[in-house]
């Protein structure tokens, strides 16, 4: 159903109702809107307008004697047509800068800090998902002998990120064979994405004349070397924030969400599938494909580390201050991109 034809009065009543409900978590009556928001309308007129909005499925009445609350559709209309991003306060900007500049170590530590920043500042659940190495363009691959039967493989991608894998094999390999393998790998694979390498590795390493014993460590597309282990890395901070929310007084809802966080894979795939393009992406309640997320909203944004990207954002009840959270997530994503680019 299209809601482009809502009257100005309907839009104002819907907006004020949502703003008040987000602040209080209490169903909103017509008298509250009339008294607090000074619309120049009588409670009776506002009540009639609320009935129209209810017929359109934008608000609902949880109990006959209660006021109204927004539906998922009502939130969607609000987010898409009535919402104005709230500028960040200097205090919020300063806090994000301080917390992000204090992050030390590798990308995993920085992403952990980013989820902590979001959880602290938004009072929701802050999340960060590691970038997909599959998108990274290989710049160099090093083979370093560690001990008899063990090689450390270091893979560096164009973004400046790197990961290492310890490979084991049955017997020692002469150092000259190792250096020759390293040379061939860099000649044939540099400039390709890791995802493309994984799909074509057998063909690209055919007819090398190298030791079959060493070669079989690399030609298998299922080898740990070519797998994107980052796909399962999710940082989440702020579960205590959710416990305080009245929506999660129902412990079954909270338990269901916690289970999704623990299992990670489906949640990561869901969030990554939503944040395909640039900019902020918001999914609300029943729009979420995962059953565990049906009572939640997600505000997410991509961040970049060179030519690879990941996702950060927040998860919370559908009753959340979207206008403020959008600005926080957007600013944190930009700060994270700067932190990972070293600028």
Q: What are φ and ψ of residue 46, in 5° steps?
A: -65, -40
pLDDT digits (tens, 9 = 90+) for 102-145: 666 677 888 888 999 999 999 999 999 988 777 778 888 888 88
Tokens 């609350």 sit on residue: 69
**Separation between Cα atoms, residue 340 and residue 258, nearest integer Å:** 29
- Give the start-to-end residue ranges of the domains of the chain: 8-82, 90-132+231-341, 134-227
Residue 70 near residue 56, CB atoms below 8 Å: no
State residue 305's pLDDT score.
79
Reading the block at residue 186, the tokens are 């860099």
pLDDT digits (tens, 9 = 90+) for 228-270: 665 568 899 998 998 888 888 887 888 888 888 888 888 888 8
Choosing among 3.40.50.300, 3.40.50.720, 3.40.718.10, 3.30.450.40, the CATH entry for 90-132+231-341 is 3.30.450.40
Q: pLDDT at residue 221 above 60?
A: no
What is the pTM for the complete model shown? 0.80
Reading the block at residue 166, the tokens are 């310890």
**Separation between Cα atoms, residue 275 and residue 87, nearest integer Å:** 22
Provide the edge-to-edge strand list for the sheet that holds 234-237.
Answer: 234-237, 125-129, 308-317, 296-305, 280-284
The alpha-helical segments, DSSP class H, found in the chain are: 8-24, 30-37, 43-55, 72-77, 90-101, 107-122, 175-189, 194-204, 212-219, 239-243, 251-263, 265-274, 322-341
Q: How confident is the model at residue 277 (pLDDT cuts 50, 70, 90)?
A: low
pLDDT digits (tens, 9 = 90+) for 177-191: 888 888 988 998 898
Choosing among 3.40.630.30, 3.30.390.60, 3.40.1350.10, 3.40.50.2020, the CATH entry for 134-227 is 3.30.390.60
State residue 197's pLDDT score.
85
CATH fold, domain 8-82, is Arc Repressor Mutant, subunit A (1.10.10)
Spell out a b/e string for 44-57, using b for 16 or more CB atoms within 10 Å of the CB, else e. Answer: eebbebbeebeebe
- 96-105, 218-227, 311-320: segment of lowest average pLDDT: 218-227
State residue 229's pLDDT score.
61
Q: What is the mean pLDDT of the chain?
A: 85
Q: pLDDT at residue 321 above 70?
A: yes
Q: Which of these, 289, 192, 296, lies nearest to 250 by C-alpha position? A: 296
Q: Which of these, 119, 124, 114, lies nearest to 22 by C-alpha position? A: 124
Q: How confident is the model at residue 69 (pLDDT cuts 50, 70, 90)?
A: very high
């Amino acid at each position: 159903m299209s809601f482009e034809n809502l009257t100005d009065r309907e839009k104002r009543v819907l907006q004020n109702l949502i703003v008040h409900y987000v602040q209080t978590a209490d169903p909103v009556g017509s008298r509250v809107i009339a008294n607090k928001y000074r619309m120049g309308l009588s409670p009776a007129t506002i009540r009639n307008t609320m009935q129209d909005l209810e017929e359109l499925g934008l608000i609902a009445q949880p109990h006959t004697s209660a006021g109204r609350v927004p539906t998922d559709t009502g939130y969607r209309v609000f987010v898409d047509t009535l919402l104005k991003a709230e500028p960040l306060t200097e205090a919020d900007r300063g806090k994000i800068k301080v917390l992000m500049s204090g992050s030390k170590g590798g990308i995993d530590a920085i992403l952990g800090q980013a989820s902590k920043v979001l959880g602290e500042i938004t009072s929701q659940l802050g999340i960060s998902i590691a970038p997909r190495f599959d998108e990274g363009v290989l710049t160099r691959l090093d083979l370093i002998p560690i001990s008899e039967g063990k090689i450390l493989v270091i893979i560096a991608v164009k973004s400046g990120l790197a990961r290492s894998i310890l490979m084991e094999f049955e017997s020692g390999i002469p150092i000259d064979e190792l250096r020759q393998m390293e040379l061939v790998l860099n000649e044939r694979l540099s400039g390709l994405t890791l995802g493309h390498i994984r799909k074509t590795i057998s063909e690209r390493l055919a007819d090398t004349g190298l030791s079959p014993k060493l070669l079989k460590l690399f030609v298998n597309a299922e080898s740990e070397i070519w797998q994107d282990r980052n796909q399962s890395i999710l940082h989440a901070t702020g579960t205590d924030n959710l416990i305080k929310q009245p929506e999660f007084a129902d412990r079954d809802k909270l338990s269901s969400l916690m289970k999704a966080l623990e299992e990670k894979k489906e949640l990561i795939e869901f969030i990554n599938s939503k944040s395909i393009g640039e900019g902020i992406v918001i999914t609300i309640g029943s729009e979420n494909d995962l059953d565990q997320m049906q009572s939640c909203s997600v505000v997410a944004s991509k961040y970049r580390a060179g030519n690879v990207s990941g996702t950060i954002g927040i998860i919370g009840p559908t009753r959340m201050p979207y206008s403020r959270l959008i600005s926080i997530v957007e600013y944190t994503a930009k700060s994270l991109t700067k932190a990972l680019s070293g600028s």
